[in-house]
Amino acid sequence: GAGVSQSPSNKVTEKGKDVELRCDPISGHTALYWYRQRLGQGLEFLIYFQGNSAPDKSGLPSDRFSAERTGESVSTLTIQRTQQEDSAVYLCASSLLSRNYGYTFGSGTRLTVV
């Protein structure tokens, strides 16, 4: 597509429920990233996918967080047993192989855990 698409744009969930967030990157972008942005704060790296290589999961905050990506297509970020501290905007970005190109970000999913 023309840009990075994320869905849903907003999600309100009850504490303890599981949620799934979706990211559709730009066609041809081999790298895909998930970041978390808490209110008024900077970006916190979560996970990185590059083609068919093993993902870099070093930023995932707990084992309640997981993500998948099939090849160079759609990615899903799953948060199990959501907690109030999971409330944030979850941003997805994609890029060409070279980091010098920078990232193209989606508009994010605003997650609110009540």
The answer to whether residues 38 and 16 touch, using CB atoms and an 8 Å cutoff, is: no
Is residue 105 part of the contact set for another protein (CB under 8 A)? yes
The footprint of another protein on residues 61-90 (CB under 8 A) is none
The answer to whether residues 58 and 44 touch, using CB atoms and an 8 Å cutoff, is: no
Contacts of 28 (CB under 8 A, 6+ apart): 72, 96
The footprint of another protein on residues 12-51 (CB under 8 A) is 33, 35, 41-43, 45, 48, 50
Which residues contribute to the site for another protein (CB under 8 A)?
Answer: 4, 33, 35, 41-43, 45, 48, 50, 56, 58-59, 91, 93, 99-100, 102-108
